[in-house]
Structure 1
Amino acid sequence: MAQRYRGRFAPSPTGPLHLGSLVTALASWLDARAHGGDWLVRVEDIDYPRCVRGADDDILRTLAALGLHPDEPPVWQSRRETRYADALHHLDAAGHLYPCGCSRREIADSLIHVRERHQTLGYPGTCRNGLHGKLPRAWRVRVPDGAAATICFNDRWQGRQCQNLETELGDFVLRRADGLWAYQLAVVVDDAQQGITHIVRGADLLDSTPRQIHLQHLLGLPTPSYLHVPVVVNAVGEKLSKQSGAQALDTAAPLQALRQAGAHLGIVNGEDAVDTWLAAATGQWKEKLAASS
């Protein structure tokens, strides 16, 4: 029996929902509905300094106003930190981690010399074999060497993707120097615990996927299907975000917002009510992409 589809939308509560984030929410909702599956919402609020008080509730209200209702109660990453600690302990016990004492400035300075030698531009592995008298600041996970360093996957929108973790990235952080959990670890743990089978998100996270697949392999977790939709950009070509001045969605005009987001995804129909527009859009999405899952 085929595993039941489970997808999710995972916003960070750094401000109100805007067109760029709605595109991702809508795409993930449509994909779940086209597959007859479940759609979940997870609030990714572990980067506390960036979170805005009340933004999570505002996002959930906006989704509801747009007819995008999750099939299970939302969850918050800030309430799941023991799971990340357990995963970190497992990786450490297996010898996959090491403490890093490098500051951002030290890493940047070392990369200047690396560029001069025309070698890797990723983390140079300064602390891989010991702290050399430095105090531990963060925890890094080792990436594979040689051929095993290349992680490939088939993206349902973007096509086949490959990244060499050794030469393009280097060992990456799972727990930051400020004590906060890195996105890469938290998202892998949560997706597995929630039984997520299909991930639909923005293409700005495309290059995070090989890191997450590497962690899935180390933790013995399944790898979901991936689909990365094109991001919305502003007039000067910057990704539309809170930082680039994206405007909050007008919940008094939900159909207009859905039509804008749908057009970005190639979904256009003439329905004039939210529920009928979403139903028609689901059929269009199914024809457009569901067959590639």
Structure 2
Amino acid sequence: MTALPDEPAVPTPPTTPPAPYRGRFAPSPTGDLHFGSLLAAFGSWLLARQAGGTWLVRVEDLDPPREVAGAVQRQLDALAAFGLHSDEAIVRQSERGTLYQAALDRLLAQGLAFHCHCSRTGLAAAGGIHRRCVAQGARTDPAVRLRVADHGVVAFDDAVQGVYAQDVARAVGDFVLRRADGYWAYQLAVVVDDAAQGITDVVRGADLLDSTPRQILLQRALGLPTPRYAHLPLVLGADGRKLSKSEAALPIDRDDPLPALRAAWLRLGQDPAALAGAGSVAALLARAQSDFVVAAIPAGAGDRHDAAAVSTIAD
């Protein structure tokens, strides 16, 4: 079995050039834009604008069974109402299968990925973590997984959450690149698209913090640059769950955008006085851009390290 090189237990510096800055907001069309989505969009837009960079919108429509009819256009309309416009043509992942297939073929040819015939039931005894194939027979629709080395910690320094470390083998295992149902897995698509679009800085919600080590492994396997990362605090509903999974995930009011923008500004730890008197979206965004302080963003990801990774770093 071909294994990936051992991963260091110290943060890996980004390999992207310091400029020009290119960021993105990448919603999934599983519903209308809600406050948590707005926070991610607004935060990523602010960091891009403060750096004098480019801000892109990418539609991550990889999972048709979960897609809500009309959600893509409603999300884009909502972003426009809040003054958040993509600087380049909007990309849809559903139209980029050729790129994903080319990356997958490379990994398979190099022995870094493999066809897996295991079922979720078969992996239940291992907590769903794949370290070896346990299938009793071949499937007509196998998944494809990345081979993950048996040891080694992936660590990186997040601009908001600080150092995050994960032993991917123990915490996640060999992870899926293409699902058994034929759909592309998020991890592969996001890595390929970030590289293809020249993304230097990934700014998104802290719910995706623990996905980043997997994406760094994929970047290394494919010989792609690793961007800088900043994971913004989550917005939780009254039940303590992430807002997008809560009944509180109601669409934001496109007809009255200023209250939601002010609320997002506060959740990003910014001074409310900076936006005082701003009576239009354009005026508010102009003031926000000039007064935004990255260091004021609160860390809100919860537990930032898995136990195995912390133990490795401490040794």
Structure 2 residue identity aligned to 1:133 = G
Task: Give the match for residue 103 of structure 2.
Answer: 87
Q: Does 1:111 align with 2:126?
A: yes
Structure 2 residue identity aligned to 1:206 = L
Aligned length: 276
TM-score computed with the length of structure 2 as normaliser = 0.84
- Call closer, same or farther: CA 1:65–1:266 in 2, change over 3 Å: same
- Call closer, same or farther: CA 1:245–1:125 in 2, change over 3 Å: farther
For residues 202-221 of structure 1, what are the structure 2 equivalents within 5 Å?
A: 202-221=205-224
1:69 is aligned, of 85, 92, 95, to 85
For residues 167-178 of structure 1, what are the structure 2 equivalents within 5 Å?
A: 167-178=170-181
- Call closer, same or farther: CA 1:218–1:289 in 2, change over 3 Å: farther
CA contact (8 A) 1:99 1:139 kept: yes
Task: Give the match for residue 60 of structure 2.
Answer: 44
Q: Does 1:124 align with 2:131?
A: yes
Following superposition, the deviation at residue 242 of structure 1 comes to 5.4
Following superposition, the deviation at residue 257 of structure 1 comes to 1.2
Following superposition, the deviation at residue 12 of structure 1 comes to 0.3
Q: Which runs of 4+ in 1 moved over 4 A?
A: none
Q: Does 1:282 align with 2:289?
A: yes
CA contact (8 A) 1:34 1:286 kept: no
Task: Give the match for residue 272 of structure 1.
Answer: 279
Task: Give the match for residue 253 of structure 1.
Answer: 256
Task: Give the match for residue 185 of structure 2.
Answer: 182
CA contact (8 A) 2:239 2:246 kept: no
CA contact (8 A) 1:238 1:244 kept: no
For residues 126-165 of structure 1, what are the structure 2 equivalents within 5 Å?
A: 126-127=133-134, 132-135=136-139, 137-146=142-151, 149-165=152-168
Q: Does 1:228 align with 2:251?
A: no
Deviations 1:44-97 (A, max 9, x none): 001111111211111111101101111011110000011000000000000011
- Structure 1 residues without counterparts, runs of 5 or longer: 113-120
CA contact (8 A) 2:269 2:296 kept: no
CA distance in 1 between partners of 2:210 and 2:247 (Å): 21
CA contact (8 A) 1:15 1:242 kept: no
Structure 1 residue identity aligned to 2:191 = V
SS of residue paired to 2:243: coil
SS of residue paired to 1:8: strand
Give the superposed CA RMSD: 1.7
Deviations 1:158-207 (A, max 9, x none): 00011001111111110101110000000000000000000000000000
CA distance in 2 between partners of 1:287 and 1:227 (Å): 10
Following superposition, the deviation at residue 244 of structure 1 comes to 3.5
- Call closer, same or farther: CA 1:288–1:104 in 2, change over 3 Å: same
Q: Does 1:262 align with 2:265?
A: yes
SS of residue paired to 1:105: coil
SS of residue paired to 2:235: coil
- Call closer, same or farther: CA 1:243–1:45 in 2, change over 3 Å: farther
CA contact (8 A) 2:268 2:296 kept: no
CA contact (8 A) 2:237 2:246 kept: no
Structure 1 residue identity aligned to 2:86 = P
Task: Give the match for residue 11 of structure 1.
Answer: 27
CA contact (8 A) 2:131 2:169 kept: no
- Structure 2 residues without counterparts, runs of 5 or longer: 1-16, 298-315
Q: Which moved more, 1:158-167 or 1:242-251?
A: 242-251
CA contact (8 A) 1:173 1:182 kept: yes
Identity score, percent: 53
